[in-house]
Chain A
Amino acid sequence: MKRPSPRLLLACVLFILLALAPILASIVGNDYPLIVLTRVVILATAAVSLDLILGYGGMVSLGHAAFLGIGAYAVGIMTAEDVTSGFVQWPLAILAAAIAAFVIGALSLRTRGVYFILVTLAFAQMVYFVGVGLDAYGGEDGLVIPTRSRFGILNLANRTTFYFICLACLVATVALVAHLARTRFGLVLRGAALNERRMRALGFPVYRYRLAAFVIAGALCGLAGILLANHSEFVSPSIMNWGRSADLIIMVVLGGMGSAIGPLIGAMVFMLAEETLSHLTTYWQLIFGPLILIFVRFARSGLIGLFPERSGDG
């Protein structure tokens, strides 16, 4: 019988631990860890979606937070216009993120290398300024979301219920990305990242494959944006600050690129480091900045590199 790979085991252990977290929180009798963990799970979803294009597709997008913002703003604006049903809000918000990803991707993917990095950054900045310009919806100050999305009997205002919904979204995203990576679609995407000319010579329309991946990643990140808006009950342009896009890249690289589970580990370690360092000192970025450099310099395969892909490797 084939032994399951260490990575699959790691994924199962992580998800079981995450599923047990609310019980621990109720034993401790303190909601704070659960609130932080919900945030971790949401940002991990965004990081996993970025991994589809960054890790598998080799597309370094420095503007992924734009889709987080679009998903969140879609929820905020619909709530402000008295559309509170999640059955309407969520599909429309995901659609909005997907359409934006289609437009931004169609333009950015005409460029390569460092141009692509800068152009995705520029378009995200443009979306940011559109958010600042939305005077009717709070402009620069942002928009309070008075009620969370309504899903019939599911009450999203309950912290535990909401946590499990976020966790379900994360598991679904990881499963989808891991599955896509193994299909023909994913193989073309990974092949094009390694050698674009060869994939083209084999007859694959690389641009279309990349655009499809970009749209899927944008839509999934839009989902994370929906969750984030519901979590903080507030949305402002700073949700799509360019630093947020860079944070997402750091999470993916930290955990390990091109492994659907790596960005989850990356997100957890990133948030843990942020929490710990910011408790230690107000000037935590003085330590965090150099840490990023040291990490980039010495540990490029990411934390997931500690767990081989197949049993028997390494």
Chain B
Amino acid sequence: MSLLIEQTLNGVQLALLLFLVAAGLTLVFGIMDFMNLSHGSLFMMGAYFAATFVALTGSFIVGGLLAIACTALLGLAIEAIWLRPLFGRGHLDQVLGTFGLVLFFNDFVRLVWGAAGRTLAVPQFLAGHITLGPALTYPVYRLVLIGVGLVVAAGLYLLVQRTKTGMIIRAAASDRDMAGAIGANVTLVSTFVFGLGAALAGLAGLFAAPLLTVQIGMGDNILILALVIIVIGGLGSIRGAFLAALIVGLIDALGRAYLPELLRLVLSPVAASTAAGALSSVAIYILLAFVLLVKPQGLFPARGAR
């Protein structure tokens, strides 16, 4: 029982981390019809900024806020310099142009921080475990991550559904030209959304830094998982991204915990552990294939999606 709770918490934590990355991707896609492969690089830059600034300032919070601000500024700079010419171009051009950016950032990091990875320790005040029940303790840091993730998700939901900015975001997502024609400043809102997405990627990078090694290419896997999530959830849908992130996170965590035992019922122990390892990495993609068979537009398509 305690294993189940622990693995569920791990799954939720992974889900929220992925959601922070996927939210920016899906909002930008919804509003600008733009596929940004370099979003994973922003996640990586967020983690590197965090490792640097936390070490410099000696404070996780000050350094973390600096890292998020820098990632947001970097995102805005990228949008203005590199991505704006690609808006309105075909998806093939966008994929190639932003892939060029991925290559650029990988070598940029190698130049500035070196090829060896960095580590960032869990901050002192969040270290330690908390007792959740008999025979179940859980790291405080991961619980805080879950809490912050949920608050951000709720904030995003309120922003998109309850504010005037959110109204323009939704209007621009369903018909960009019409929203512009009736006087909404779509360009400004697009830039805001891009900066917001970059800040969320930076936040994810900050939170991921103590859990993973900060290294070149760390954004790639996260990016591809986030892409799978926004396809499962329905492109442009923030609610879809949240629910799909939960499904993917839970499948991954529970699959890793329980598949070996399940497979041991039908296979020899050695074969079971090998097969379970392969199967739990692949399970998410099997889910994707299944969703495509049943609902090619994703599970929760955004309203007014083309």
- Residues of A at the B interface (CB closer than 8 Å) are 60, 62, 107-108, 110-111, 113-115, 117-119, 121-123, 125-126, 129-130, 132-136, 242-243, 246, 249-250, 253, 282-286, 288-293, 296-297, 300
Q: Specify which of B35, B104, B274, B282 lies most central, judged by the most chain A CB atoms within 10 Å of its CB.
A: B104
Q: Does B293 make an interface contact (CB < 8 A)?
A: yes
Residues of A within 8 A of B220 (CB): 242
Cα distance, A125 to B95, chains bound together (Å)? 16
Closest to A300 in B: B93
Residues of B within 8 A of A135 (CB): 274, 277
The total of interchain contacts (Cβ-Cβ below 8 angstroms) comes to 127
B231 touching A122, Cβ below 8 Å = yes
A290 touching B100, Cβ below 8 Å = yes
Cα distance, A212 to B85, chains bound together (Å)? 35
Closest to A60 in B: B92
Residues of A within 8 A of B100 (CB): 288-293, 296
Residues of A within 8 A of B103 (CB): 243, 285, 288-289, 292
> Apart from A107-B289, A135-B277, A289-B102, what 19 extra A-B contacts exist at CB < 8 Å?
A114-B91, A117-B95, A118-B227, A118-B231, A122-B228, A126-B285, A126-B286, A133-B274, A134-B278, A285-B104, A289-B107, A292-B96, A292-B103, A293-B96, A293-B101, A296-B86, A296-B100, A297-B85, A297-B97
Question: Which 6 residue pairs are nearest across A and B when measured between Cβ atoms?
Answer: A133-B278, A289-B104, A292-B100, A126-B285, A285-B107, A129-B281
- Residues of B at the A interface (CB closer than 8 Å) are 29, 35, 82, 85-86, 89, 91-93, 95-97, 99-108, 110-111, 220, 224, 227-228, 230-231, 235, 274, 277-278, 281-282, 285-286, 288-289, 292-293, 296
Q: Specify which of A111, A246, A249, A291 lies most central, judged by the most chain B CB atoms within 10 Å of its CB.
A: A246
Cα distance, A130 to B92, chains bound together (Å)? 27
B224 touching A242, Cβ below 8 Å = yes
User: Given A110-B293, A284-B107, A289-B104, A122–B274 Cβ distance below 8 Å?
Assistant: no
Residues of B within 8 A of A284 (CB): 107
Chain A interface helix/strand/loop/mixed: helix
Cα distance, A115 to B29, chains bound together (Å)? 12
A110 touching B96, Cβ below 8 Å = no
A122 touching B277, Cβ below 8 Å = no
User: Given A60-B95, A283-B110, A296-B86, A114–B277 Cβ distance below 8 Å?
Assistant: no
Residues of A within 8 A of B230 (CB): 118
Closest to A135 in B: B274
Find A130's partner among B106, B228, B282, B292 (CB 8 Å cutoff): B282
User: Given A242-B224, A285-B103, A286-B107, A296–B281 Cβ distance below 8 Å?
Assistant: no
- What are 16 A-B pairs with beta-carbon distances under 8 A? A107-B292, A107-B293, A111-B292, A117-B35, A119-B231, A122-B224, A130-B278, A133-B277, A243-B103, A246-B99, A253-B96, A286-B108, A286-B111, A289-B105, A292-B96, A300-B93
Find B104's partner among A108, A110, A286 (CB 8 Å cutoff): A286
A121 touching B104, Cβ below 8 Å = no
Cα distance, A114 to B85, chains bound together (Å)? 19
A114 touching B35, Cβ below 8 Å = yes
